[in-house]
Chain A
Amino acid sequence: MNDRKPLYLMSPALMWLSAFMVVPCVLILALAFFRRGLYGGIEYTLTLENLALVVDPLYASIFLKSAWIAGLSALIAVVIGYAAAYAISAMPRKHQPKLLFLAVLPFWSNYLVRTYAWIVLLNREGLITALARWFGFEGELPKMLYTEPAVVVGLVYNYLPFVILACYAPLSRLNPEIEEASRDLGGSGWTTFRRVTLPMTVPGIATGFVFVFVLSIGNFVTPALLGGGQFQMIGNLIYAQFLTANDWPFGAALSMVLIAIMMMLLTAQTFAAERGSGGRTEES
């Protein structure tokens, strides 16, 4: 088929994406430069006030806190996820697809339900409290639900399968002869891991980290459910601008900064992936 035919195959989808993704996103970018109207509407005069407000200490601190929580969650998820992916790749080949399937399955069940499962475990009359009582613990347990650690646990839990998947890909493609060579040359197991395996699987780690960070920093469900009503991350702040505070231009400015942060990270991750692929045996 010639090169013109694909266009009419693609055009319905591309038109849909243009109308309902590209245009709305451009609209959001534009909104960020307008003024908020007196009664919550939009006043069409150009301004940089909204973007200036984003760096106001009050809101900048919410950005920093979101970045801190996203970074911490991504770090923990990568440590656990890499270990799990490594363990899966150390199992006999024929069991690996099944193990990977089991690891990824929870990722595809409902996000709200998975988050809710932690409310069941962590709340004051929850299972952890019940277990502590059962083991004879009499005192008052520290508050677990509606805390910062609860939010981090929820994010790690929700995105861990993704990290396992991302780290498993380069680990499974690793040429075993390279590791053998390292050992033949006298490298211990740990040295081989640190100097050979780890550097060659950096792309997987970078992908896992960036995706958990990106998905966490804009998250609003987990902070709302596990962090409690007072807990604010950027996602919740954006949510409030659109549904309660009715300051759409400021909400748009917040989204714009959020997208900018994500784009930078995703670009960095692409570079890491491209650099890393140089030293790897090429997959078919």
Chain B
Amino acid sequence: MKSAPLPLMLLILGLTFAFLYVPISVLVALSFNESGLPTAWTGFSVKWYGELARNGDILKAAGNTLIVALASTVVATTLGTLLAVGVEIRRRKGRFLETIIFAPMIIPDIVLAIALLSFFSLLNVTMGLHTIIVSHVVFNLAFVCAVVRARLKTFDWSVVEASQDLGASTLTTLRRVVLPVLSPAVVAGALLAFTLSVDEFIIAFFTAGAGRDSITLPMQIFAMIRFGVTPEINALSTIVMGLSVLMLTLSQRLNRGRLPGQ
């Protein structure tokens, strides 16, 4: 504890949390406003959520998002976990290797997005959901790897040596000794990857190709927002936000009270 004036500290915290939470709370509250207008509260209603369920475009986009998120999560979790184990087993830490693994998290979305767009078009690859999935795996595997590595930092590698001394093959050791310890971190990483993929807009936007068939939910939201404020977007935003919060709280529980990146 520091000997700072407590009332001032509480004031700072109050203002910061108000700044962080008032805008999104307003959004959530308005989604339940019967009139749909920010200026007049005419009563609690879930009718805007009903409107969403009847909107074919939104349902299609939600379905696409689910496909992309599930597929990219499965691939990224597998590759990312193996990568994390491989990196942590090595005693020598290569700076080059670290850079490659860290890069997907810091390259600006717009740069990775146009790089992938150019790459796919020059190879004459028809773009669609599959190219979004491939692209999402790039950053997702980096995040899964980071979460799993954090867990491996406190892993007792002598257990692995013991297992091998007792005659277990590498695969058996991985399956019976390393994975059971890692599984909470792997699941936490997978939940994080799923959430990131569901929310990702820019890379999906550039690698989706032309046509409306491969529109994801964030792309749909972006298109809707550009036409202004509507009660449907408020309801949709509330659902999307609720889902992220749910997934991340789960991920945080599994990851021993830490949020990814924390």
Contacts and interface: CB of A to CB of B under 8 A. Distances in A.
B10 interface: yes
B252 A24 contact: no
B111 interface: yes
B89 A6 contact: yes
A97 B10 CA distance: 16
Interface stretch (B21-29, B46-54, B179-187): B21-29
Contact of B170 (A1, A93, A100, A164): A1
Contacts of B261: 104, 165
A176 interface: yes
Contacts of B107: 21, 25, 259
Contacts of B222: 112, 221
Interface in A138-178: 157, 160-161, 164-165, 176
A67 to B, nearest CB: 14
Interface in B92-137: 92, 100-101, 103-104, 106-112, 114-119, 122, 134-135, 137
Given A13-B79, A110-B241, A176-B2, A220 B202 contact: yes
Contacts of A28: 111, 114-115, 118
B90 A83 contact: no
Contacts of A218: 108-111
Interface in A21-66: 21-25, 27-28, 31
Interface string A6-19: 11111011101100
Given A21-B112, A24-B115, A121 B240 contact: no
A12 B138 CA distance: 12
A11 to B, nearest CB: 8
A164 B218 CA distance: 26
Contact of B19 (A120, A160, A243, A252): A160
B173 to A, nearest CB: 8
Contact of A25 (B16, B80, B87, B111): B111
Given A20-B116, A123-B228, A225-B226, A80 B16 contact: yes
Contacts of B73: none
B190 interface: no
B82 interface: yes
In terms of DSSP, what is the predominant structure of the interface of chain B? helix
Contacts of A252: 114, 118
Contacts of B12: 83-84, 86-87
Contacts of B23: 114, 117-118, 120-121, 157
A89 interface: yes
Interface string A106-146: 10111111111111110101110010010000000000000
B111 A255 contact: yes
A114 B26 CA distance: 11
Interface in B222-262: 222, 225-226, 228-229, 233-234, 237, 240-241, 244-245, 248, 252, 257, 259-262
Cβ-closest 6 pairs across A and B = A9-B86, A10-B86, A24-B115, A13-B83, A218-B108, A117-B23
Interface of A: 1, 3, 5-10, 12-14, 16-17, 20-25, 27-28, 31, 80, 83-84, 86-93, 97, 99-106, 108-121, 123, 125-127, 130, 133, 157, 160-161, 164-165, 176, 179, 183, 189, 214-215, 218-221, 224-225, 235, 238-239, 242-243, 248, 251-252, 255, 258-259, 262, 266
Interface of B: 1-4, 6, 9-10, 12-13, 16-17, 19-21, 23-24, 26-27, 30, 37-39, 78-80, 82-83, 85-87, 89-92, 100-101, 103-104, 106-112, 114-119, 122, 134-135, 137-138, 141-142, 145, 160, 164, 170, 195, 199, 201-202, 206, 218, 221-222, 225-226, 228-229, 233-234, 237, 240-241, 244-245, 248, 252, 257, 259-262
17 contacts: A9-B83, A17-B104, A21-B104, A25-B115, A86-B12, A87-B10, A110-B199, A110-B237, A113-B237, A121-B23, A125-B229, A126-B229, A176-B1, A189-B3, A242-B206, A255-B110, A266-B106
Given A90-B6, A189-B4, 5 more contacts: A21-B115, A160-B19, A164-B16, A243-B206, A248-B118
